Amino acid sequence: MENILGTNLDRIVILAYFAVVMGFGAYFGKYSKTTSDYFFGGRRFAWWLITISIVATGIGSHSFVKYSTKAYQYGFSSTMTYMNDWFFMPLFLFGWLPIIYYMKLGSIPEYFEKRFSREARYIATFMILMYMIGYIAIQFLTLATALYKIYGIPLMLTVVLIAIATTIYMHFGGQTSVIFTDLIQGFILIFAGLLLFTLGLNFLVENTPYASGLKALWDNLTPAEKLPLANFNSPPDFNFVGIFWQDGIAGSIGFLFLNQGLIMRFMAARSVNEGRKAAAFNVLVILPISAIVVSNAGWIGKAISNSVPGALPIDLAPNDVFVSVANLITSPGVFGFIIAALCAALMSTSDTLVNASSSVIINDIYRPLTKNKSSDEEQLRLARLASVVVKVIAVCLVPFFNSFESIYEAHGWFHSTFTPPLVVGVFLGIFWKRFTSTAVIATFILGAFLMILGQMYPSLISPFSHGIELRPGRGYSYIGALYNLFVCAGVGVIVTFFTKPNADKQLTGLTVFDIHKLKKIFKGSSINEATGKPVVVNFKVKDLGKDMVSFSKDDMKTINANKGDLVYIQDSRWWLGGLKSIHATFADPHDENGVVYMSEVQRDSGMFIDNLPLKAEKEM
Amino acid sequence: MNFYQTWLPFFYLYGVGGIAFLLGTFLIYKTGALRVSYEIHKKWIWILFYGYFFYAFIHALFIYLAIGSS
């Protein structure tokens, strides 16, 4: 066994952290009463809550290890992948997001059936499930590798223990638990990462002649290590152009358009505009901070190596830099907290993916097979069971991923194998009406075949290589994504021209060309875009029919709403972020100002408390 | 440090990425998904372009500072 790191205090801190998160998540289980709550959190949350919970989803436990390694080897260019996601934001915010939200898509594969055919849905389901379950396995492996060095428990047993711990709160809580545990874990992740950075800068001040830690860091990196983008086409294992195509193009589209976990998070937003705010704030503010959070241990490690000889082992393996630097610059207990943050990263990423996987299993396999005849309660029970099954399969896959040379390589294999066909399928589906059902299936099957050929015969990728050196026996790495995208798109385009497209009527609401019709489709009647003001009201229980609520005539005038318009009502305490809220439809008005009539079911669903005011605003 | 290390990646990133960004913006404008007549959409146009130039500025600044320190 390798040397065990950390102290007993560190181990207690890590265990305490697991216990707190499990309790927190299990508490929010009471907010999941239906499959809609379980998967989408009832479409009710404010943008800021969605944003912070996305942080924890975007930073996996592998992120700390992977980016610290690259930061130690190459400096600031380790941040590249966190800072190249803006290019597809226009299409995401105003193309894809309104489609998935207003068409009430339960999953990405469901889009493939509506847009193309049932066969396309089944293939997409298989690919997405494989992708997500494999991703969960990699998360388990990364954290187990770190905890193994601290607790000395055998690796596979550590994996099983982690799986059980995350199951406890996920199992009962679903999406609401995921969002709230990810909220707290998002803060912890950022805090721990910035704490590590601060402690690292202090270490440099204490051990070098510099008065400023930032100055010490800057001066102890070479000019090349200060560049924010890597060398254009060398070395083969870390170059700009390859990473641009793999991450900036395929990865960004995959993350924004195909990540079922992320999509479900946006579906939990209370409106499309709240989803847009969450996505934009995440990319503009949170991702740059996240880049520092996951990379800084590597930068600090490099500066320490250059300025404090002997502080870190001369033969330090780049993969070990995160744990070694954390151990060096923190005191007992704080080291445990930093590793607990690594746990936070794992738990929050895997819980999102597990919830997303069980959503795909219920929405894309169970419901179509049973023709949606089972009750919601039964589906909810099955969703919970599915989340357990997903974890069992993920645990079984861990030894397979452990056989790769590094976690970085396993992760890269994943992205390059599963993302391009799906990326091309969804992208052409949204933005090209002519794209046919036969073409999307050909993209999946023939595209995958050509991708495998590219892996077997790297000379096929050479025309796309941008001068990147071909490594004997190992082929091209990241730039393979450009070849994969090209062959998949090529197959899709060529087959489309030889096959018959679906009728325009069948595509209604499923392409970017119908965005302006989506609100009407969602509402089921003409929309009211007149601007109004929110009102604060108290509620009284009175049954008015399914989803109906009634306001006074004056309040309706203030809101600028008509009968049949949609309304969003929430507990007036803003910091709840929409946790206690409902969507409803305006019924005929009454004459009692400052009061809304709603049914008992609506009151219970919103968890509204007597005498606490509610805030109501028109949706559309 | 040569051009391959410093400015070529920058121009490639904001050139090829910029084409994707502008095509996307043009597409959502032409299809009516983004409507300049809506006050709220006007703000979003500003945010979209702000994001593009924000990242370009950060990257350019660090390249400039790194070259200056060599």
CATH number of the CATH domain containing A571: 2.40.40.20
A521 has a pLDDT exceeding 70: yes
Instruction: Tally the domains of chain A.
Output: 2
CA B55 to chain centre: 6
Q: In what order do the strands lie in the sheet with A548-549?
A: A548-549, A581-586, A566-571, A614-618, A535-541, A595-598
**A279 contacts chain B (CB < 8 A):** no
**Amino acid identity, residue A613?**
P
A1 has a pLDDT exceeding 50: no
User: Do A308 and A436 reside in the same domain of the chain?
Assistant: yes
Could you tell me if A303 and A221 are in contact, meaning their C-beta atoms sit under 8 angstroms apart? Answer: yes
pLDDT value, residue B20: 93
User: Do A486 and A557 reside in the same domain of the chain?
Assistant: no
User: Do A408 and A534 reside in the same domain of the chain?
Assistant: no
User: Do A561 and A450 reside in the same domain of the chain?
Assistant: no
pLDDT value, residue A45: 85
Mean pLDDT across chain A = 84
Minimal C-alpha gap between B25 and chain A (Å): 5
User: Do A211 and A337 reside in the same domain of the chain?
Assistant: yes
Task: Look at residues A445, A479, A495 and tell me which one is the last residue of a structural domain.
Answer: A495
User: Do A269 and A372 reside in the same domain of the chain?
Assistant: yes
**A388 contacts chain B (CB < 8 A):** no
Could you tell me if A434 and A493 are in contact, meaning their C-beta atoms sit under 8 angstroms apart? Answer: no
User: Do A469 and A584 reside in the same domain of the chain?
Assistant: no
Minimal C-alpha gap between A530 and chain B (Å): 11
Taking residues A438-456, what's their average pLDDT? 92
Taking residues A128-154, what's their average pLDDT? 78
Residues of A in contact with B50 (CB under 8 A): 284
The answer to whether residue A525 is domain-embedded is no
The answer to whether residue A403 is domain-embedded is yes
**A241 contacts chain B (CB < 8 A):** yes
Q: Chain B interface residues facing chain A, Cβ-Cβ under 8 Å?
A: 1, 4-6, 8-10, 12-13, 16-18, 20-21, 24-25, 27-28, 31-35, 38, 40, 44, 47-48, 50-52, 54-55, 58-59, 62-63, 65-67, 69-70
A35 has a pLDDT exceeding 70: no
Q: Do B13 and A231 touch (CB under 8 A)?
A: no
User: Do A471 and A581 reside in the same domain of the chain?
Assistant: no
Q: What percent of chain A has pLDDT over 70?
A: 91
pLDDT value, residue A195: 92
Q: Write the ipTM.
A: 0.96
The answer to whether residue A513 is domain-embedded is no
Residues of B in contact with A513 (CB under 8 A): 31
The answer to whether residue A516 is domain-embedded is no
Q: How far apart are CA A366 and CA A425, in angstroms?
A: 23
Contacts of A474 (CB under 8 A, 6+ apart): none
Task: Look at residues A470, A495, A520 and tell me which one is the last residue of a structural domain.
Answer: A495
Please state whether the peptide bond connecting residue A332 to the residue before it is cis, i.e. omega within 30 degrees of 0. Answer: no
Q: Do B9 and A95 touch (CB under 8 A)?
A: no
Taking residues A285-301, what's their average pLDDT? 93
Task: Look at residues A448, A475, A495 and tell me which one is the last residue of a structural domain.
Answer: A495
The answer to whether residue A99 is domain-embedded is yes
Domain of A485 in residue numbering reads as 8-495
User: Do A453 and A584 reside in the same domain of the chain?
Assistant: no
The model's confidence at residue A576, banded by pLDDT at 50, 70 and 90, is confident
User: Do A565 and A470 reside in the same domain of the chain?
Assistant: no
User: Do A428 and A556 reside in the same domain of the chain?
Assistant: no
Residues of B in contact with A89 (CB under 8 A): 21, 24, 48, 51
Q: Which residues pair with A539 in a beta bridge?
A: A596
What's A104's domain CATH number? 1.20.1730.10
The answer to whether residue A2 is domain-embedded is no
The model's confidence at residue B8, banded by pLDDT at 50, 70 and 90, is very high
User: Do A459 and A600 reside in the same domain of the chain?
Assistant: no
Tens digits of residue pLDDT in A475-505: 787 888 899 999 999 999 999 999 998 888 8
